[in-house]
Amino acid sequence: MTFSQFQVRFHGRGGQGVVTAAELLSVAAFYEGRYSQAFPTFGSERAGAPVAAFCRIAEREIRTRAPIIRPDAVVVGDPTLLHSGDLFAGIGREGYVLVNTSGDLTDLDLDRRLAGLRPERIVALGATELALQHLGRPVPNAVLLGGLAALCGVVGLASVERAIAERFPGPVGTANQRAAAEAYARVARPAELTGASPD
């Protein structure tokens, strides 16, 4: 994939690992020789609180410290956040959206908000269920990362798996790698998606 800069915004809740997801994405991009910068919206830490994290990926040194205002991709770790502010603020027509839900995207009433985006770039993924299945814990960050890699191709699955292994050595890392790989496969082959494909 060629680009000069690609920006991802993650929204989730404390405990879901969206900050880690942004960090791992930056590490995966680093492995691919790119410059990257991941940073959270820094709240006082508590489980369940809304959390946002950012990742910028670029071909040259990233100097700006401003938050991401025009994301190329938005990842929503918890669909209950969709009612608390505009998670998709600044996203362009070429943008990507990945929502963690095992339900139907149409139920989330995003049509109007995401009108104009390319439908194949709006994807639902039952990330929490996949995480439970592979890790036994409802921490969907690695799953979302695998899904995002498949959705927008900004990093390859191998780099995601390497970043996971570096961060989580041992069985936890292996399980997360498997979860990411399955998510990647599901998003890369939409026919096998658990949710309905976006209209």
Partner 1 sequence: MLRQIEGSQAVARVVAACRPEVVCAYPITPQTHIVEAIGAMVKSGELPGCRFINVESEFSALSVAIGASATGARAYTATASQGLLFMMEALYNAAGLGLPIVMTLANRAVGAPINIWNDHSDAMAARDAGWIQLFARSNQEAADLHAQAFRLAEEVSLPVMVCMDGFILTHAFERVDVATREQIEAFLPPFEPRQVLDPAAPVSIGAMVGPEAFEEVRYLAHARHLDALGVIESVAEEFAEVVGRKSGGLVAPYRTQDAELVVIALGSVLGTIHEVVDEARDRGLRVGALGVTTFRPFPLEAVRDALAGDARLVVLEKAFSSGFGGVLSTDIAMALGGATARLSTVVGGLGGRAITETSLRRVVDDALEGRLGRLEFLDLDRAAVERELAHMAGDRRSGPIAENVLRAIGAGTAGIAGRRA
Smallest distance from partner 1 to CB 30, Å? 3
On the CB side of 135, how many CA atoms lie within 13 Å of its CA?
Answer: 24
Beta partners for residue 9, in sequence order = 54, 74
Measured CA to CA, the distance from residue 41 to residue 52 in angstroms comes to 5
Cβ proximity to partner 1: between 3 and 31 the closer is 31
Measured CA to CA, the distance from residue 39 to residue 96 in angstroms comes to 20
Smallest distance from partner 1 to CB 119, Å? 27
Smallest distance from partner 1 to CB 118, Å? 25
Cβ proximity to partner 1: between 161 and 198 the closer is 161
Cβ proximity to partner 1: between 39 and 168 the closer is 39
Cβ proximity to partner 1: between 61 and 199 the closer is 61
Measured CA to CA, the distance from residue 16 to residue 46 in angstroms comes to 11
Rule CB under 8 A: which residues touch partner 1?
A: 22-23, 26-27, 29-31, 35-44, 50, 52, 61-67, 69, 84-85, 89
Measured CA to CA, the distance from residue 150 to residue 143 in angstroms comes to 11
On the CB side of 29, how many CA atoms lie within 13 Å of its CA?
Answer: 33
Smallest distance from partner 1 to CB 27, Å? 5
Smallest distance from partner 1 to CB 189, Å? 30
Record the tokens describing residue 63, joined without a space.
Answer: 């100097």
Cβ proximity to partner 1: between 66 and 191 the closer is 66
